[in-house]
Structure 1
Amino acid sequence: MKLAVSRSTRYLDTVIFNHPRDFVREDFKDFIYSTSVELPMLQFLKDWKKIAASALYQ
């Protein structure tokens, strides 16, 4: 997970915060999270992962 955070930080530094903005990183993060929606397939994958994991340990 630490690598993903590092990559996203570098991306934001390069693409969004490469020059002064009227907003700060926290504002940008809050905006992104507030507009995010869960993909319909995600719940299926979460359920499948639980079923697969329980089947492996039986």
Structure 2
Amino acid sequence: MVINRDRYLNKLIARKENGLIKVITGIMRCGKSFLLFELYHEYLNSVGVSDDNIVELALDEAINAK
């Protein structure tokens, strides 16, 4: 079951061009990664941003911890 995060996605979209870094916080397993890696990624693709121009880095993976 997919829970749409429209409220949070719309906040990200509205502030996309303000030049500030966005920090997404929350308890474990609340959907932070899904919001960014799936929903926001889909949004970026829908407005013409290619996958070659999207950088995704999961800092909880061991390979990215160093």
Do both proteins adopt the same fold according to a TM-score greater than 0.5, normalized to the shorter chain?
A: no
Question: Taking CA–CA contacts closer than 8 Å with sequence separation of 6 or more, which of the two structures ends up with the larger relative contact order?
Answer: 2
Structure with max Cα Rg? 1
The TM-score with structure 2 as length reference comes to 0.27
Name whichever structure is richer in helix by fraction.
Answer: 1
The TM-score with structure 1 as length reference comes to 0.29
